[in-house]
Each structure stands twice: as C-alpha cells, then as structure tokens.
Amino acid sequence: MKKITTVCPYCGAGCKMKLVVDNGKILRAEAADGATNQGELCLKGYYGWDFLNDTKLLTPRLTQPLIRREKGGKFEAVSWDEAIRYTAQRLKAIKQQHGARAIMHTGSSRGTGNETNYVMQKFARAVIGNNNVDCCARVCHGPSVAGLQATLGNGAMSNSIGDIENSKCLLIIGYNCADSHPIVARRVLKAKEKGAQIVVCDPRRIETARIADQHLQINNGCNMALVNAFGHVLIEENLYDRDYVAKYTEGFDAYRQQVADYAPETVEQLTGVSAQQIRQAMRTYASAPSATIMWGMGVTQFGQAVDVVKGLASLALLTGNLGRANVGVGPVRGQNNVQGACDMGVLPNEFPGYQSVTDPAVRAKFAAAWGIDAAGMDPDIGYRITEVPHLVHEGKVKAYYIMGEDPLQTEADLSLVRSAFDALEFIVVQDIFMTKTAEQADVILPSTSWGEHGGVFSCADRGFQRFEKAIEPQYNVKRDWEIISLLATELGYPMHYEDNQQIWDEMRELCPLFYGATYEKMGELGHIQWPCTTLDSPGTPYLYQGNQFTTPSGKGQLFATTWRAPAEVPDAAYPLVLCTVREVGHYSCRSMTGNCAALQTLADEPGFVQINPQDAAALGIGDQQLVWVASRRGKVISRANYNERINLGAVYMTYQWWIGACNELTQENLDPISKTPETKYCAVKLEAI
C-alpha cells in the first residue's frame, strides 16, 4: 500500500490530498496539509476518485482510439498510428483548403495539468499557425481576467485563499462558495469566528447568507447598479481614502461623475435592496481594518460582467484595500486548473505568462524558442469558444480540436451549439469519457485521467502545485501532451518531450512571471504563487505590494459605467428568471463526479428546478412535481424543488445533468469584451406535467 500526494481535480480551491493505493486500485482519499486546505477536503475530494477504479461507470471510459469515417456512421477502433495519421491528414487538408484560421482548439481547465495546456497552445500557434485556442475560462471567469487586467494589471486573485480568514470584512457578491468551493467556505466561516463582518449580496439566501451579518438580497441582473451605488456611498459619505486615491489611482473625477446618478435611494427599487442596507454595507466595508471582495459566476456570467468586475476593483482602490496582507479582490476560479489554463496561454489573445499575441517582440521570442519563422505567426487575436457556433455558420471555422471540454453540455443555447457541430467538417475530441461532445466526434483520442499522470496545477490564488501519478492507466490511452506531440510530429513539426518537467522548464524560460517556479522549489514549498520571477523568490502571496499596479501607467484605474439590463427580461409569456447554479456533490459537466458511487448516491436524479413555494403555488405546481421548463430556445423536463431560500420571480437549475440540461434554455448575450455568455439570466416559464 502506498500514499500518493496529489491535488484535487475539481474546484479551484486546490486542496492537497493523498490517494491511498493498493495493487493498482485506489482505496480512499485522505486530506493533506496544503496551503489552501490545511488538512480538510469536501465531499468531492473525499469521494471523487472511484471512476479511476472503473466501478459503476455511467459514462463509458474512452479506452482506445476511435475513428468515424463518415458523418452519422459508427465509430471504428483503430491503432494509435492510424488515429494520428488520419487526424493529421484531415487537419492538413482543411488548413490547405480553408487556411489555418479554419481550425479551432481548446485547452482544458480540468485534470490534465499546465504542461499539457502549454503544449496545446504551442500546437495551435507553432504547428497549425493561429491563435484560435481557448478554454472554459471564457464561460466563467473571463470577465474577471479582463476586468482586473484593465483596472489593476493582473487578471487574477490579488490575495491568497489562506488570507481570507484573516480579513476583517468579506464582501461576497454572486458567489455561493458553500456549493462551489466548500473549503473556501470554511475560510469564510473561520473569518466569521475570528470576528470578521460578512456582507453577502445574492438573490438567494445561500448558505453564506445565513451566517452573514448583512444579506443584500439583490434582484437578479442588477449588479452594476448596486456596485455603482456602493461607489456613490463611499464618495458621498466621505468613506474613501483620499490620500490613497490621489497617490495610486487615476480616473477619480470621471468615476465620481458616473456614480453620481446611483444614489442608494435611486436604485433601491431596481436592485431590491434598501438604501439603508446599501449604505450600511459600505460603512462596514470601508471602516474595516482589512477588507476583501470575493465573487463568482453571479458576477461573471452576465452580458455586463467585465464592467462589474472593474467596478468591484474600484471599490478596493477607493478604500485602499490592495497591496497588503488580508485584503484584496478575489475572483474564485471555478475548475481546478482554469487559472492554469490561462497562465499557460490557452487564450486567443495571450501567449503563456500573459504576453500579448499582438506584440511583435513577444512573437519573435516565442518563434525563436520554437524554431519557427516569426513572420509566419498569426499576428491577430484568435477566436473565442463562445464565438465558434457563429463562426461555423459563417463558414470561417471548419475543424474543432477539443481537449477535455464538453461544450455540448456546458455552453449556452445548446440548440445553437448543436447546429454548429452538425455543420463542422471535422471534430477531434481528446478526453477520458464518452461525453456529449465526444459522441459527435470524427476522431476520439483517449487520454490518461487525473490519477494516471502527474504535472502542475494552478489553484485560484495563483498557486502552482505539483500533483503526482497514483496508478497506471488500464487502457490503451496516452498522456494528453504525448498525443498532441505525436500529431505535431505527423504534421511536420517534430515535437518530442521526455517528461512534464522538460515542458515546464521550456515554459519557464519563456515566461518571466513564472521563471522562478521550478519543479524543485514546488517540491520543497508545496505552493508557489506567481509572480515568481527569480530562482530565489518564494513567490508572491499578495499582488501590488507598495501599491505598484501593473497597468501601463502603474496606477489603478477607477471605473464605473451605466447599468444595462439583461438581454431577455421576463414578460407575460415567459414570466420567470432562470439562473444557472452549481450543486455541491457534482462538478462541471459531471463526467467525473457522475461516475463516482458515493457522489451519485448524494445526488442521483437528473436535474431539478428550485422555486419559491409561493411562486410554485401560484402556478399550481407541487413540491417534487415533474414540470416542463421552457424558454424561447427550448424546453426540458425537470422536477420542482420547493425552496424558501429562493427569491420570488426566479428559478434556479444546475447545468450538470444530461437530462433537464438547463443550457437548452439559456441564451448568449455575450459580454462585449470577454465574450462570456449571460447564463445567469434568461426568461422562462414552468408548466406542471
């Protein structure tokens, strides 16, 4: 029996754990003493591994390469050589006929690791020749990256997960940590125990709201108005830090002018929050000796998400809550390695280490290291995954190479996404399970899973952590980066790596932000937060020390703008707001957690729609009754779940089930900057069955 130290593959909390292994099977998981989890795990950490032992699999594990030679035909098992040769031929032909930009790629924010993401973006940029590489950050925290880069300079959490419990005020907006990051929720609880004031802004009375000192039960879709009102109070009541604003920020006059129209008394009807509550929240936030703002997808999955992120960063700037311990801004990233996928340049606008693809000097540096001609590199920003359905219909994208993502489950407006997949000429899926997306593939390249390989993950607080291989894979599968390397070589770009560390070291040499984060140092320290620019640096627990912002001017950029209503508001035909949410026992598209016995037991029925009993009674819908939920884009069967904590006029569904998939109902309304869809808001109706 042996114990292998690894990192949980589910959420961005980055909990360290030990897998207890005997005779090639995992017996159990134990919590390890990691920087973010301090010896604790949630349910998913303790019970989210047994799909590796091949028990009770609901979704078949992909065990060998498969090719479907004709659309609508059957999959045929083939050798690796044939799968690689066939895929390379098809990609080559599409590139020759339609140009490099006709091919789209995804990296993966899940269990595959940073090294693989580095190799995937290199494949897109050096082998195919475009910047069309993206990841699921696009549909979750893309607005956090864009908004924080614009206001502060770095698109990541400014503080540490460990810091949260030492903050004296937590302003939590659109973030249900008890369900999405239970171990972060523990930090919130500890902060409360240490005397912190907890202020929660959320339409539902979520778990955190129950322990909060103040709960601002905001109407769905009003974040910008509330954040502007917060800024208004800070200025009007002279709660902001004048010296800090004068020394370290820019744009105060325009900001003050913009928020002037958002007096709490003006927006209380719109937001559903009383002026007194809005004022009290800011008095609490501004007077705390240390204050932290945390948010989740209740901020980012809206058509005006980037603006709201900028507004939240502005509250921290106005009050000087940046650049020191126990304060800051914390977008808590969703999937376990979504921070890492961004760090590694699985983004259409940035190489690894957040270096712009439009900068000729940066392109020249990567071209020299990769042995290609800089003049032949794509100088333009590539496509985003949320734009793909439209680009396919416009004839611009013909092939899609998807690694470790399931867009046919997780993207908004699934009928639109399905129609695009039907129109694609060639689909390659590299994954561990026969997901909804894999079912549509022309080629399936089966890869090793978390547990069957090692590497480095980045957790939500910029922390690099190594994870180890626990068991040998049982099937004819290969590591993700090995598959990509074989394809690259077949396409005429020889790519040979010995191991993860060789890839990591190549990446470090090209990324000043990460240069000092060596494998050896990660082994020694366990958790290294970037920037880590030198070999003797231990990393950076909090950003902007000395209030040096990494914006072009070095100053924080204050920002406010006019609130915009969501794209599709309720009306007589579709009178309720649908908001998509998470459930604690499952993760993302549920392909991994749905194949774990204990987690299935916890939540074993496809889908439910949470509704306030008053709304349900008015519709004649009983508790646990089957219902149709319909929007203008589709309808699904679900089960009504009475819940007193739900606000009137809204219903809530998770997107984690194949039946009752709420993305049949959701709509796009992409944020104009980040291109993130508005999956937190669309109009629906419910009908009893």
Shortest separation between residue 335's beta carbon and ligand SF4, angstroms: 10
Q: Of 181 and 508, which has the nearer Cβ to ligand SF4?
A: 181
Q: Of 8 and 341, which has the nearer Cβ to ligand SF4?
A: 8
With helix as H, strand as E and coil as C, how does 8-39 read?
CCCECCCCEEEEEEECCEEEEEEECCCCCCCC
Quick one: which of 496, 504, 511, 507 has its CA closest to 456? 504
Residue nearest to ligand SF4 (CB): 45
Q: Of 10 and 255, which has the nearer Cβ to ligand SF4?
A: 10
Quick one: which of 64, 244, 515 has its CA closest to 252? 244
Shortest separation between residue 154's beta carbon and ligand SF4, angstroms: 22
Q: Of 30 and 425, which has the nearer Cβ to ligand SF4?
A: 30
Asked whether 157 and 332 are in contact (CB, 8 A), the reply is: yes
Q: Of 440 and 588, which has the nearer Cβ to ligand SF4?
A: 588
H runs (alpha helix) in 327-466: 338-343, 360-370, 388-393, 407-410, 414-423
Contacts of 583 (CB under 8 A, 6+ apart): 179, 603, 654, 656
Shortest separation between residue 9's beta carbon and ligand SF4, angstroms: 8
Shortest separation between residue 8's beta carbon and ligand SF4, angstroms: 3
Asked whether 570 and 576 are in contact (CB, 8 A), the reply is: yes
Query: Token pair 């927006």 is at which residue?
Result: 267
Q: Of 284 and 458, which has the nearer Cβ to ligand SF4?
A: 458
Say how far apart CA 410 and CA 106 lie, in whole Å: 14
232: Cα separation from own chain's centroid: 30
Say how far apart CA 385 and CA 399 lie, in whole Å: 13
Say how far apart CA 517 and CA 331 lie, in whole Å: 23
List the structure tokens of 41.
Answer: 């795990």
Shortest separation between residue 3's beta carbon and ligand SF4, angstroms: 17
Asked whether 117 and 455 are in contact (CB, 8 A), the reply is: no
Q: Of 45 and 340, which has the nearer Cβ to ligand SF4?
A: 45
Shortest separation between residue 60's beta carbon and ligand SF4, angstroms: 24
Q: Of 95 and 181, which has the nearer Cβ to ligand SF4?
A: 181
Q: Find the Cα–Cα–Cα–Cα dihedral 230, 236, 238, 240, rounded to 10°.
A: 30
Shortest separation between residue 190's beta carbon and ligand SF4, angstroms: 14
Shortest separation between residue 514's beta carbon and ligand SF4, angstroms: 22
Q: Of 588 and 674, which has the nearer Cβ to ligand SF4?
A: 588
Q: Of 8 and 471, which has the nearer Cβ to ligand SF4?
A: 8
Q: Of 8 and 484, which has the nearer Cβ to ligand SF4?
A: 8
Q: Of 11 and 596, which has the nearer Cβ to ligand SF4?
A: 11
| Angle at 465 (CA atoms; ends 155, 161), nearest 5 degrees | 55
Shortest separation between residue 460's beta carbon and ligand SF4, angstroms: 9
Shortest separation between residue 549's beta carbon and ligand SF4, angstroms: 30
Task: Give SS3 for 399.
Answer: strand
Shortest separation between residue 10's beta carbon and ligand SF4, angstroms: 4
Q: Of 138 and 181, which has the nearer Cβ to ligand SF4?
A: 181
120: left (phi over 0), alpha (psi -120 to 50) or beta: alpha
Shortest separation between residue 182's beta carbon and ligand SF4, angstroms: 5
Say how far apart CA 638 and CA 8 lie, in whole Å: 31
Task: Give SS3 for 486.
Answer: helix
- Alpha carbons within 13 A on the beta-carbon side of 392: 22
Shortest separation between residue 336's beta carbon and ligand SF4, angstroms: 6
With helix as H, strand as E and coil as C, how does 237-301 read?
CCCCCHHHHHHHEECHHHHHHHHCCCCHHHHHHHHCCCHHHHHHHHHHHHHCCCEEEEECHHHHC
Residues that bind ligand SF4 (CB under 6 A): 8, 10-11, 13-15, 37, 41-42, 44-45, 181-183
Task: Give SS3 for 582.
Answer: coil
Q: In the sheet where 25-31 sits, what is the strand order?
A: 2-7, 16-22, 25-31
Contacts of 246 (CB under 8 A, 6+ apart): none
